């Protein structure tokens, strides 16, 4: 019956179901989730929630959450958009802001979902290779374009750009929207949200899924000029005017307000990342400098595909990409110190390491 499908649907492949196996007892270092639970304030919201209220619709405008996010970034509420995870925010961004005559510019190696939207919405795109040391080469983003999108820090490399580099790009590129996907920004990079007031064509997306440990609640958001936000609201309202359910709105606010816990968890992940990098390096791995909650690594003597399978056989999941150019790398999420110790111990048992 697939003859009834729209042409763009034929080539669509689901993104991560295979990365979410329904098996207990695995060490799961494959989808960049936070190893720590959400903030105690989130637990309190859930414990004290009055279920009677569920018969009502949630606030369609997410007023309180938008205000909390605006306060967090020193912006106003009309510069904030929220959606079901940053994946939805990005999908709406592609629909509302990145479909133009000129090609969209993006790195050849970046978050793979962008290409799904490019195909789905039939967007003309130019993919620009990373430099030899896996950096986004912003000097190469100078041709006429209908928009620019990249992740900062980039995924799956973990390598970040500085705010100066992003400002330089914005100064050179004033005629199209520049989208900076900051899913991992809290783990050691600087947010471009502080540039939003200066550049009306900048949209910054962020998420509660990583540094706030709320992947299960699906809350993402964007900061940008009110006109960019209005475009997203228009598209959103054509699909579903209730972007977030009641619990998602309330738990997200609680997670934002629990600053001490947030900073503690982020610091813990960064410390564990440093330890993991040292250990991997001493086993002969090359590890890219990471500003995220994962590391991107390769070994000259053992193929990444083999290592991924070896770890999987030992109940440790890491991510291997088959895309040429990065197919000899593994992306390893930073877990708890105990999980990372078990990963390193397991690698030490590998006959070739």
| Residue ranges in contact with ligand PMP by CB under 6 A | 85-87, 111, 151, 155, 181, 183, 207, 209, 215, 220
- If the CB atoms of residues 222 and 302 are measured against ligand PMP, the closer one turns out to be 222
- If the CB atoms of residues 146 and 156 are measured against ligand PMP, the closer one turns out to be 156
Give the nearest residue (CB) to ligand PMP.
85
Shortest distance in whole angstroms from residue 345 CB to ligand PMP: 28
The span from the CA of 73 to the CA of 81, in Å, is: 13
- If the CB atoms of residues 5 and 15 are measured against ligand PMP, the closer one turns out to be 15
How far is Cα of residue 96 from the mean position of the Cα atoms in its chain?
Answer: 20
Helix (H) or strand (E) holding 63: helix 63-73
Shortest distance in whole angstroms from residue 344 CB to ligand PMP: 24
Q: What is the DSSP string of 251-281?
A: HHHHHHH-HHHHHHHHHHHHHHHHHHHHHHH
The span from the CA of 69 to the CA of 88, in Å, is: 17
- If the CB atoms of residues 146 and 160 are measured against ligand PMP, the closer one turns out to be 160
DSSP label of 294: E
- If the CB atoms of residues 240 and 281 are measured against ligand PMP, the closer one turns out to be 240
Q: What is the DSSP string of 28-39?
A: EESS---SSPPP
Nearest to 89 by CA among 176, 13, 183: 183
Shortest distance in whole angstroms from residue 20 CB to ligand PMP: 12
Shortest distance in whole angstroms from residue 198 CB to ligand PMP: 24
Shortest distance in whole angstroms from residue 149 CB to ligand PMP: 10
């Amino acid at each position: 019956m697939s003859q009834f499908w729209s042409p763009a649907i034929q080539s669509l492949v689901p993104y991560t179901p295979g990365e979410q196996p329904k098996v207990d007892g695995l060490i799961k270092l494959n989808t960049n989730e936070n190893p720590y639970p959400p903030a105690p304030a989130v637990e309190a919201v859930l414990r004290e929630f009055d279920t009677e209220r569920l018969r009502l619709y949630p606030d369609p405008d997410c007023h309180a959450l938008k205000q909390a996010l605006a306060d967090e970034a020193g912006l106003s509420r009309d510069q904030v958009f929220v959606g079901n995870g940053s994946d939805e925010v990005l999908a709406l961004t592609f629909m509302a802001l990145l479909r133009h005559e000129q090609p969209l510019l993006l790195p050849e190696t970046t978050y793979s979902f962008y290409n799904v939207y490019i195909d789905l919405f039939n967007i003309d795109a130019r993919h620009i290779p990373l430099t030899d040391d896996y950096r986004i080469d912003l000097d190469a983003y100078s041709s006429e374009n209908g928009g620019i999108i990249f992740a900062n820090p980039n995924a799956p490399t973990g390598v970040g750009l500085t705010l100066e580099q992003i400002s330089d790009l914005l100064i050179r590129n004033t005629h199209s929207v520049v989208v900076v996907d900051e899913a991992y920004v809290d783990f050691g990079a600087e947010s471009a949200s502080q540039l939003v007031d200066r550049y009306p064509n900048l949209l910054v997306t962020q998420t509660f899924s990583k540094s706030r440990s709320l992947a299960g609640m699906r809350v993402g958001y964007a900061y940008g000029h009110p006109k960019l936000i209005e475009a997203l609201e228009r598209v959103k309202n054509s699909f579903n005017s209730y972007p977030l359910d009641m619990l998602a709105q309330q738990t997200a606010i609680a997670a934002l307000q629990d600053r001490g816990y947030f900073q503690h968890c982020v610091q813990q992940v960064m410390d564990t990342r440093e330890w993991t990098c040292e250990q991997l390096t001493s086993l002969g791995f090359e590890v890219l400098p990471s500003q995220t909650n994962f590391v991107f690594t390769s070994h000259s003597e053992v193929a990444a595909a083999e290592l991924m399978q070896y770890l999987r056989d030992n109940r440790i999941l890491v991510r291997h990409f088959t895309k040429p150019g990065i197919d000899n790398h593994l992306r390893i999420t930073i877990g708890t110190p105990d999980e990372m110790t078990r990963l390193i111990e397991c690698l030490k048992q590998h006959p070739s390491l």
